[in-house]
Amino acid sequence: MNAEEMSEKARTNFLNGFNCAQSVFCAFVEELGESVCGMNLETAQKLSSSFGGGMGRLREVCGTVSGMFMAAGLVYGYSTSSEPDAKAKHYALIQELAKKFAEKNGSIVCRDLLGLPPKTSAFAPDSPVPEARTEQYYKKRPCADLVADAARIFAEYYLSHPKAS
């Protein structure tokens, strides 16, 4: 694995119709394999399916970022509630990944990344119906590039920190 290959694998997932979160998360699940991830690709696709469009098209945290965070959790996450240091260490990693993504793209919020107007109320979802993936869709949405960026950022981190602690 290298960062560019993972970036392109995630982009291809998106161009093949998967949502942004699935595209990033599943690229890593597929690359790392069931023995490392503890789940098969279909389970990963289902698990990450809710996070597209900024959490079910709520336009909150970008699905690419959620996918990156899920991959980080699989590799570096903690599984015990009795180690507060493990939680703090993991949250520091998540914040580092978010910072890198925001530095490159200006935000980690879907609505901001898409240039959509601010929400009109505390809960103002977009239509739950995804837009058709047409040539026009890809021209007006930066999502394929955002997917590639998130996958690249996590792959670069993983390659420089290959062993979960």
| Arithmetic mean of pLDDT over the chain | 92
Q: Is 61 helix (H, G, I), strand (E, B) or coil?
A: strand
Q: Contact, 164 vs 76, CB < 8 A?
A: yes
- Give Cα 68 to chain centroid, integer Å: 4
The pLDDT of residue 165 is 42
Q: Contact, 7 vs 13, CB < 8 A?
A: no
The phi, psi pair for 109, rounded to 5°, reads -100, 125
Query: What does the pLDDT look like over 50-91, one tens digit per residue?
Result: 999 999 999 999 999 999 999 999 999 999 888 889 999 999
Percentages of the chain per state (helix, strand, coil), in multiples of 5: 65, 0, 35
The phi, psi pair for 81, rounded to 5°, reads -90, 0
The pLDDT of residue 133 is 86
Q: Contact, 146 vs 23, CB < 8 A?
A: no
The pLDDT of residue 80 is 86
Between 164 and 117, whose confidence is greater?
Answer: 117
Query: What does the pLDDT look like over 98-136, one tens digit per residue?
Result: 999 999 999 999 999 999 988 777 676 777 888 888 888
Between 24 and 79, whose confidence is greater?
Answer: 24
